[in-house]
Copies of this chain bind each other. A is one copy, B any other.
Amino acid sequence: MRDDPHEALPAVSDDRSPDLRVGAFQGVRAARRNELAEDYVELIAELIHMQGEARPVDIAASLGVKVPTVSKTLDRLSREGLITRAKYRSVFLTEEGRALAKECRRRHEIVLRFLISLGLDPETAERDAEGIEHHVSERTLALFSAFANRS
């Protein structure tokens, strides 16, 4: 078979049990459903910290999407109890939103510091951290933390 993806690689994962993998995929799908909300609340917290308020126009500029996209997503976050908003006003985090933001910022920081301590340049580290942060378990975070502190 030409170009078999399974040619001569040390097969760490070839013998993983099927149902274990199902769980992994289900976990990843669950994580994916929260990614955007996590990025939003983390960003909103940062904007409030930095600028005093979080306006849709600034959220949109930071994320690189259009304002109506932000508006629609904010509606969902509001429905889900993570933010409060009044028409034509800037956005606030609920208690729950602040808690999530804090957790996200912590994860983001740990992943970022870890990648940098591994030797990665800060720009790439930031890009990778922005994606990885949503997929690291608490155990992995502990190991990342330990490594970064120890090096």
Query: Known interface pairs A113-B12, A131-B31. Does A3 touch B102 (Cβ–Cβ under 8 Å)?
Result: yes
Number of interface residues of A (CB under 8 A): 70
A63 to chain B, nearest CB (A): 5
B24 touches A62 (CB 8 A): no
Identical chains bound together, number:
2
What secondary structure prevails in chain A residues at the interface with B? helix
| A31: chain B residues within 8 A (beta carbon) | 131
A119 touches B143 (CB 8 A): yes
Q: How many angstroms between the C-alpha atoms of A151 and B140 in the bound complex?
A: 17
Q: Mark A13-42, 1 if CB is under 8 A from B, else 0.
A: 100101011111111110110010001001
Interface residue? A9 (CB, 8 A): yes
Closest chain B residue, CB of each to CB of A58: B18
A130 to chain B, nearest CB (A): 4
User: Which 10 A-B pairs have CB atoms at the shortest separation, nearest pair first?
Assistant: A131-B135, A5-B102, A5-B101, A5-B45, A24-B130, A6-B49, A22-B64, A24-B127, A28-B131, A26-B64
**Given contacts A6-B105, A124-B137, could you give 8 more A-B pairs where the C-beta distance is less than 8 Å?**
A10-B113, A13-B126, A16-B122, A18-B61, A27-B127, A28-B130, A118-B140, A131-B135
